[in-house]
Amino acid sequence: MDFVAQHTKIPVPKILGLSKCAAGPYIVMSFVEGSPLSGYLRDPSQETDTLSLEVLLELSKPEFPVIGAVRKDTSGSWTVLKRPFTNRLAQFSNIPLNVFKRQSFNNAADYFEELAQQHFYHLELQRNDAVTDGSDCRKKYIARCLFRRLSHKVAKKHCNGPFRIYCDDLCPDHVLVDASRLVVTGVVDWESAYAAPVEFTYAAPWWLLLVRPEDWESDLDQLLLRFMPRFRTFLEVLRDCEARKINAGSLSSRSQRLSIVMEKSLETGLFWICLASRRSSMFDEIYWKFIGPQFFWPFDGG
């Protein structure tokens, strides 16, 4: 949060103190007035569409030479020395932490490959409900092998950076606003923020339906029917927001525009690749529905 406060215009709570106790680590922050933006976005009469876009555009500006957790060293400088502990597979599957790499990553190809490898750990080390039978195991193993092959090709253009700040949990639920003044009063829950491949920043936001991907309906065709109209509206508002910022001189004319690359992310499959990389519980559904058919072959359900 300190980094975001120092290097962007995003309002964040002030850290008053942090330590550990018997119940675990804790952090004390200043109180931020406001209500979650998600509540207003559900009401079409509220003109709050641009508030989350302001946050996205600001967060896309800081750059880093490597991928990993952002920390302040003893000299007070911001550095990236260790891997980001963000993947939900690592957090919630009870897989031994020593199998995950600990260092930062110098290029995006290695990081995407590591994320792909983590999906193998689920099959190898998670014994409870990872597979239903032999056929299911083979199908999941094939998906992971092909996804790992694809991971080498995802970040060709921006493989060596620069990399951008990305927060896995950033969504309208964590953006507090004063709707009467149409301003963001604070953005909270930065635990999963890190220097990440720029592809994550360039992919369409997962939160456009205002629910987490784990809560999406199982029928992904029906999901797209709801997602695409929201996405088109999002792009329209984003373009207007970018145009205003370009005219005001706070955004570069093309290099910092997200609307162009986000629009392409659905066409190229980048959106689904990034989502499958980070959301282990949805990996197989996303792979067989979108990634496999686009990059390898159609799946007939057999």
Write the pLDDT tens digit of every residue in 209-259. Answer: 999 988 888 889 899 999 999 999 999 999 999 999 999 888 887 778 999
d(CA 225, CA 73): 47
For residue 302, tell me if it sits in a domain: no
d(CA 4, CA 13): 10
d(CA 177, CA 72): 29
For residue 102, tell me if it sits in a domain: yes
3-class secondary-structure state, position 176: strand
Residue 88, pLDDT above cutoff 70: no
pLDDT (average), residues 45-64: 88
Strand 35-36 to strand 24-29: parallel, antiparallel, or no bridges (unpaired)? unpaired
Give strand pairing partners of 235.
Answer: none
Q: What confidence score (pLDDT) does residue 302 get?
A: 47
Token digits of residue 236: 């329209």
Domain that holds residue 84: 2-295
Instruction: Count structural domains, the chain.
Output: 1
Predicted TM-score of the model (pTM)? 0.91
d(CA 286, CA 216): 12
pLDDT band at residue 108, thresholds of 50, 70 and 90?
A: very high
3-class secondary-structure state, position 273: helix
pLDDT band at residue 124, thresholds of 50, 70 and 90?
A: confident
For residue 300, tell me if it sits in a domain: no
pLDDT band at residue 90, thresholds of 50, 70 and 90?
A: low
Radius of gyration of the chain (CA): 20
pLDDT band at residue 44, thresholds of 50, 70 and 90?
A: low
Q: What confidence score (pLDDT) does residue 156 get?
A: 87
CA distances from residue 276 to 8, 109, 206 in whole angstroms, order as listed: 29, 15, 11
For residue 221, tell me if it sits in a domain: yes
Query: Lowest-confidence range among 11-20, 90-99, 110-119, 287-296?
Result: 90-99
Q: For residues 279 and 169, is the Cβ–Cβ distance under 8 A?
A: no
Q: What confidence score (pLDDT) does residue 92 get?
A: 52
Q: For residues 145 and 116, is the Cβ–Cβ distance under 8 A?
A: no
